[in-house]
Structure 1
Amino acid sequence: MSTEPEPGEAIRGTDVRLTVSRGPERFEVPTDLVGRPYDEVVAQLQETVPVQLTRVDAHDDAVGAGLVIGFTPAAGTELRRDEVVTVTVSLGHAPVAVPDVTGQSPEQAQANLEALGFSVVRGEDGRSAAVDAGEVMAVSPGPGDGPAAYGSAVTIVVSAGVPLVAVPDVVGMKEEEAAAALQAAGLTVDSTKFFGNKVRQQQPAAGESVEQGTSVKILVAF
């Protein structure tokens, strides 16, 4: 690459120092930058490694959001001046699909959801004709809502039994009309009939809230 003395100088019996090239200059991205905050990594590289940096973001279940996952070419690779190096930065844990926990006990549903990284909130109990009392009847967000953020809260609603309905007033109706009205409200009919065809009494009384499927006694007489 060079001599000392420089070429052209007159010398006799003098030592000449030769500087030999090792090839084009090369640089390396330190391996200890992996796992460190992106801004900190960029600041260090801009001071010490003359390369061009680009950034891509990706989910990583093991590397926290904002930290560097890795480099392309990989850290430790010999690089030319101004070579493009891609820095991959973590978006944090990938979103997680919420499983269908309806029909499970609250304890089992909570354990299944927490195993996936969710926190679990129990909402106010509801009522369902399809889910037995004491079992989970709804979850929000649910399986149909797409993946949810890792570590986010999921609310479960536990069934307190079948829905409540208001008992219609059937006193004075003909037996057939009364039975149709009660059945339309989701109730069953227990009819006691004397002579006549009109409802004179009912139990439970009109306006009471009872569980769907409850039997309403009617007395049919003149």
Structure 2
Amino acid sequence: MYYNSGRIVLISFLVALFTSIIVCGAFFFVLPRLQEDTVVPDLLGSSPEQARAIVEARGLLLIVGGEEKSDQYAANLICRQTPLPGSIVSNKSSVTIFISQGSQYVVVPDLSGIGLSEATVKLSGLGLAIGEVRSEEHATIEADKIIKTIPEVGSEIKRDERITIILSRGVETSEVPRCVGKSLSTAKRLIVDSGFAVGNVTWEVSTEFNVGIIMRQSPRAGTMARRGSNVDLVVATVLE
């Protein structure tokens, strides 16, 4: 009986000793290890300054890996990090962040009515550039001002794309030729050769001009008119 009791006491003592060893081992070996590890914080959407304060408070180091375009995060905010948020890393590990340059897509601005130099500055601020420049006549937009763009205003395009500019030449004018006193065929040739079109041709009785001779014209000879516009003629005839 005393033998069994002593045996029970011995076993209890050994169990307690073994448990103590395990607990002490955990305390001396596992706990320090846990204290050396930390969870990587979520830095996405934060400014670099905010991120540095958060990271250093956890005993980590912050590294700026560079900049990249992001449709999700505004310019100058953190758009990517490594390791990922929630990762377990050792103390004094580094966290690399990448700063957003803003969306890779921009909206084409309205450049109508402004010159090339102003348009260049405006596009540059959006990460765009002028590509091909074409010109065409325009009745209301003065020469050397922008009529429109390709793609058109309001279109969503990627940064770094080039915009085609349609520039106004204004209204091209020429001097209206003198047709009065000329035959109808000669007058028509003069009009076309001068860059105009033959407009209305009417006949009126005249005692001053011979039949088939131009007696009046509109616009008058010597005036400046838009190229391609009409020149109307009045041709002399006789009363039948």
- For residues 76 and 187 of structure 1, the distance between their equivalents in structure 2, rounded to whole angstroms, comes to 78
Q: Deviations over 1:15-39 (max 9, x none)?
A: 98823423473233212x3211123
Whether contact under 8 Å (1:175, 1:220) holds in the other structure is no
Q: Residue 97 of structure 2 aligns to a residue in which SS?
A: strand
Number of the residue aligned with 2:133 = none
Pick aligned residue for 1:201 from 192, 199, 216: 216
The correspondence of residues 1-222 of structure 1 with structure 2, limited to 5 A, is 18=24, 19-22=27-30, 23=33, 25-31=36-42, 33-51=43-61, 53-81=63-91, 83-96=93-106, 98=108, 118=109, 120=110, 123=113, 128=138, 138-140=147-149, 142-143=150-151, 147=157, 165-166=173-174, 168-171=176-179, 172-173=181-182, 175-184=184-193, 185-192=195-202, 195=210, 199-206=214-221, 207-209=223-225, 212-219=228-235
> CA 1:26 to 1:211, structure 2 compared with 1: closer, same or farther past 3 Å?
same
Using the size of structure 2 for normalisation, the TM-score is: 0.51
1:219, distance to aligned residue in structure 2 (A): 3.2
Higher helix fraction: Structure 1 or Structure 2? 2
- For residues 62 and 214 of structure 2, the distance between their equivalents in structure 1, rounded to whole angstroms, comes to 90
Identity in percent: 17
The RMSD of aligned alpha carbons is: 4.3
Aligned residues: 168
> CA 1:220 to 1:89, structure 2 compared with 1: closer, same or farther past 3 Å?
farther
Q: Residue 56 of structure 1 aligns to a residue in which SS?
A: strand
- For residues 84 and 186 of structure 1, the distance between their equivalents in structure 2, rounded to whole angstroms, comes to 76
Structure 1 unaligned blocks of 5 or more: 1-14, 99-117, 130-136, 150-154
> CA 1:27 to 1:205, structure 2 compared with 1: closer, same or farther past 3 Å?
same
1:67, distance to aligned residue in structure 2 (A): 0.8
Using the size of structure 1 for normalisation, the TM-score is: 0.54
